[in-house]
C-alpha cells in the first residue's frame, strides 16, 4: 500500500518513521499520533486517489490540518494521516464579488493577508490563526472572537469542494448567496470533523475592511451591567461591535504571571474585565473631525462616559494607538497558553448558554466546583457577546474521577440553562463522553445513519464525533 501511495503523491510526500514527527503531536500534547504514514497530496485528484485506495484496502484515513485543535479530532493512530499542507494555494480573490477561492491547506492568516491587500477582510479570527488551516476551521465550524458581528464559519462559506469516503469528488463550489436546490450538503460537511468527507477547497465570503477601530478595556460591577453596555454600544454604532470578551480577575493575574512584560489593563484590579472592539466602514464614522477625533472612537468614549456617570462602569481605558489595541488583543488571545500552559491539572470545557444566562451559569458552578474539589479554581474567558464560555477548572489533582465529576457538573448546569456542552471546539475524542450522556438519542442515531450511508466501511476519521454504540 505504501508503494501505491508513493505512486500517487510522490515518494518524498509519503512520510514514515521519524519523518512523521511533525505530525505526531497536537498542540495540547494530550492526543499524540502514531500514523502508518503521513501522506501529503497536492491536488483534489490526489486526495481522491488516496481515499479510493484506503477504501479498497480498509485502511482508515484521518485528515490533518494545522493540528491546533483542542479536542483530539486529528489523532491518527494506525491510520493514514492525510495532511493537506501542500494544498496551500489561494486560487482567486474577486474583490467585486467579495469572495476568496482557496485550497483547504491555506493558513488562515494568509487568507487575512490576501484579503487585506484588496481592502477586504475574512473576519474569522482566533489565537491559532497563524497555523490553523482552512480545511480544519471548516471541519470544526470554528467560531472565534468576531462571531458577534459576522457569525461562525458556516456563515462565512458560500461553497466547498470535498472528497467523499468512496473517493468520489463532490463539487459544491457555489459562489451563490441563494441556492435552494435540495439538501444543503455543504453545511453537512462543515462541522463534521472529517468524518463524512475531506474538504479540499472553499469559496469564502469577504467583508469590507473597517477603516477604523475603537477598542477599550472596561471594568463593570456585574455581567448584567456588561450586557447593558453591549446593547448600548450596538445601538450607538449601528451594530458595529465586533468583539465583546470577558476576562475575570484571576485570568488577568494569570496572564500577568505568564510573562513579566505583560501589563495590567487598569491601575486597580477588577473582578469583571471586558475587552470591547467596534469597527466602522462608513466615511461618516471614520473621517477625523477638525480636532483629529475619529467619530467611531468618539461614539465609544461618549457611551462609556455616559454609563460611568450612571454608575454602570467602574473603569475604562480606550486604546489610543494600534500598539495599545494589539496589547489588548494579545491579553485575550493568550487564553490557551494561560489556561493550559500553567502546568496544573485542568478540566477544560467549551460551552454556550443564552447571553443572559452566563452569570447564572457561573454562579451555579462556583458551588458545584467547591463541592467536588474545595481547592479547585475556575479559570475562564468568554465570548460574552455570543454566550460562549471557555470554562476551565484548575484542579488540585489529576484524579480522573474528580475530572469526570467536574465535566458532568458543567454539563448539568449548561443543559439546565438550555445551552450546549460544545460551542466551537468540536467533539473530536475529548467530548465523546458528553455526546453519549447528553446528546439527544434520536439525533445521535440519525448521525450514525448518515455516517453509515456515506462511509459504509468506516474509513474516515473513525472514533471521532460519534460515541461508540
pLDDT, tens only, 5-14:
999 999 999 9
Residue 158: which residues within 8 A CB-CB, separation 6 or more? Answer: 99, 174, 175, 176, 177, 203, 204, 205
Q: Is the pLDDT of residue 86 over 90?
A: yes
The DSSP string of 404-457 is: HHHHHHHHHHHHHTT-BSBSSS--TTTTHHHHHHHS-HHHHHHHHHHHHHH-TT
Q: Is the pLDDT of residue 260 over 90?
A: no
Q: Is the pLDDT of residue 238 over 90?
A: no
Domain 2-83 -> CATH class: alpha beta
Predicted local distance difference test score (pLDDT) of residue 222: 95
Q: What is the mean pLDDT of residues 84-106?
A: 97
Provide φ and ψ at 351, rounded to 5°: -125, 165
Going by pLDDT thresholds of 50, 70 and 90, the confidence category of residue 289 is confident
The DSSP string of 169-235 is: EEEE----S---SSS-HHHHHTTSTTSS-EEEEEEEE-EEPPSEEEEEEEEES-HHHHHHHHHHHHH
Share of the chain above pLDDT 90, in %: 86
Nearest to 81 by CA among 70, 65, 105: 65
- Domain residue ranges of the chain, discontinuous segments joined by +: 2-83, 90-208, 212-328, 336-435
Are the beta carbons of 161 and 45 closer than 8 angstroms? no
CA 96 to chain centre: 28
Angle at the Cα of 304 from the Cα atoms of 303 and 309, rounded to 5 degrees: 100
Are the beta carbons of 209 and 119 closer than 8 angstroms? yes
- CATH no. of 336-435: 3.30.70.2740
Q: Is the pLDDT of residue 138 over 90?
A: yes
The pTM score is: 0.92
Predicted local distance difference test score (pLDDT) of residue 290: 86
Predicted local distance difference test score (pLDDT) of residue 145: 87
Tell me the average pLDDT of the chain: 94
Predicted local distance difference test score (pLDDT) of residue 27: 79
Q: Is the pLDDT of residue 361 over 90?
A: yes
Range scoring the smallest mean pLDDT among 42-51, 82-91, 234-243, 394-403: 234-243
What is the fold, at CATH topology level, of the domain defined by 90-208?
Answer: 3.30.465
Measured between alpha carbons, how far is 152 from 351 in angstroms, rounded to an integer?
Answer: 15
The DSSP string of 94-113 is: ETTTTEEEEETT-BHHHHHH
Residue 177: exposure state from Cβ atoms within 10 A (0-12, 13-18, ≥19): exposed
Range scoring the smallest mean pLDDT among 80-94, 200-214, 285-299, 375-389: 285-299
User: Is 212-328 a CATH 3.30.450.20 domain?
Assistant: no
Nearest to 349 by CA among 399, 400, 393, 404: 393
| C-alpha distance from residue 192 to each of 132, 197, 293, 465 (Å) | 17, 8, 47, 8
Q: Do domains 90-208 and 212-328 have the same CATH topology?
A: no
Nearest to 427 by CA among 69, 148, 33, 18: 69
Nearest to 358 by CA among 268, 423, 432: 423
Beta strands in 372-416 (DSSP E): 377-383, 388-394
Model confidence pLDDT, tens digit, residues 406-434: 999 999 999 999 999 999 989 999 999 99
Amino acid at each position: 500500500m505504501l508503494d501505491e501511495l508513493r505512486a500517487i503523491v510522490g515518494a518524498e510526500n509519503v512520510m514514515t518513521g521519524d519523518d512523521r514527527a511533525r505530525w505526531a503531536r497536537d498542540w495540547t500534547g494530550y492526543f499524540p499520533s502514531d500514523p502508518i504514514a503521513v501522506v501529503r497530496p497536492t491536488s483534489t485528484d490526489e486526495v481522491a486517489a488516496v481515499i479510493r485506495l484506503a477504501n479498497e484496502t480498509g485502511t482508515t484515513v484521518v485528515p490533518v490540518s494545522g493540528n491546533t485543535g483542542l479536542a483530539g479530532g486529528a489523532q491518527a493512530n494506525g491510520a493514514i494521516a492525510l495532511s493537506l499542507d501542500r494544498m496551500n494555494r489561494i486560487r482567486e480573490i474577486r474583490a467585486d464579488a467579495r469572495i476568496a477561492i482557496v485550497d483547504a491547506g491555506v493558513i488562515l492568516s494568509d487568507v487575512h493577508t490576501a484579503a487585506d491587500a484588496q481592502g477586504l477582510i475574512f473576519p474569522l479570527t482566533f489565537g491559532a490563526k497563524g497555523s490553523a488551516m482552512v480545511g480544519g476551521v471548516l471541519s470544526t465550524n470554528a467560531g472565534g472572537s468576531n462571531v458577534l458581528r459576522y457569525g461562525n464559519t458556516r456563515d462565512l462559506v458560500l461553497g466547498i469542494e470535498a472528497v467523499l469516503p468512496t473517493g468520489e469528488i463532490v463539487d459544491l463550489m457555489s459562489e451563490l448567496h441563494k441556492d435552494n436546490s435540495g439538501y444543503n450538503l455543504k453545511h453537512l460537511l462543515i462541522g463534521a470533523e472529517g468524518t463524512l468527507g475531506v474538504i479540499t477547497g472553499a469559496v469564502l465570503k469577504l467583508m469590507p475592511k473597517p477603516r477604523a477601530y475603537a477598542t477599550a478595556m472596561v471594568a463593570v460591577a456585574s455581567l448584567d451591567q456588561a450586557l447593558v453596555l453591549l446593547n448600548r454600544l450596538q445601538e450607538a454604532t449601528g451594530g458595529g461591535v465586533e468583539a465583546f470578551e470577558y476576562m475575570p480577575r484571576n485570568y488577568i493575574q494569570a496572564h500577568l504571571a505568564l510573562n513579566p512584560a505583560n501589563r495590567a489593563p487598569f491601575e486597580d484590579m477588577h473582578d469583571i474585565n471586558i475587552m470591547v472592539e467596534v469597527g466602522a466602514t462608513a466615511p461618516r464614522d471614520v473621517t477625523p473631525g477638525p480636532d483629529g477625533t475619529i467619530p467611531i472612537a468618539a461614539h465609544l468614549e461618549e457611551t462609556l462616559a455616559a454609563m460611568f456617570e450612571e454608575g454602570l462602569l467602574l473603569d475604562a481605558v480606550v486604546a489610543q494607538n494600534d500598539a495599545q489595541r494589539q496589547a489588548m488583543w494579545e491579553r485575550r488571545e493568550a487564553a490557551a497558553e494561560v489556561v493550559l500552559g500553567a502546568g496544573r491539572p485542568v478540566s477544560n470545557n467549551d460551552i454556550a448558554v443564552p447571553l443572559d444566562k452566563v452569570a447564572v451559569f457561573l454562579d451555579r458552578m462556583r458551588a458545584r466546583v467547591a463541592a467536588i474539589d474545595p481547592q479547585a479554581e475556575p479559570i475562564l474567558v468568554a465570548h460574552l457577546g455570543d454566550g460562549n464560555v471557555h470554562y476551565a477548572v484548575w484542579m488540585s489533582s489529576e484524579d480522573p474521577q474528580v475530572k469526570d465529576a467536574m465535566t458532568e457538573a458543567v454539563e448539568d448546569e449548561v443543559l439546565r440553562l438550555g445551552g450546549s456542552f460544545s460551542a466551537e471546539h468540536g467533539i473530536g475524542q475529548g467530548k465523546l463522553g458528553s455526546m453519549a450522556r447528553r446528546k439527544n438519542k434520536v439525533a445521535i442515531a440519525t448521525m450514525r445513519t448518515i455516517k453509515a450511508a456515506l462511509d459504509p466501511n468506516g474509513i474516515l476519521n473513525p472514533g471521532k464525533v460519534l460515541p461508540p454504540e
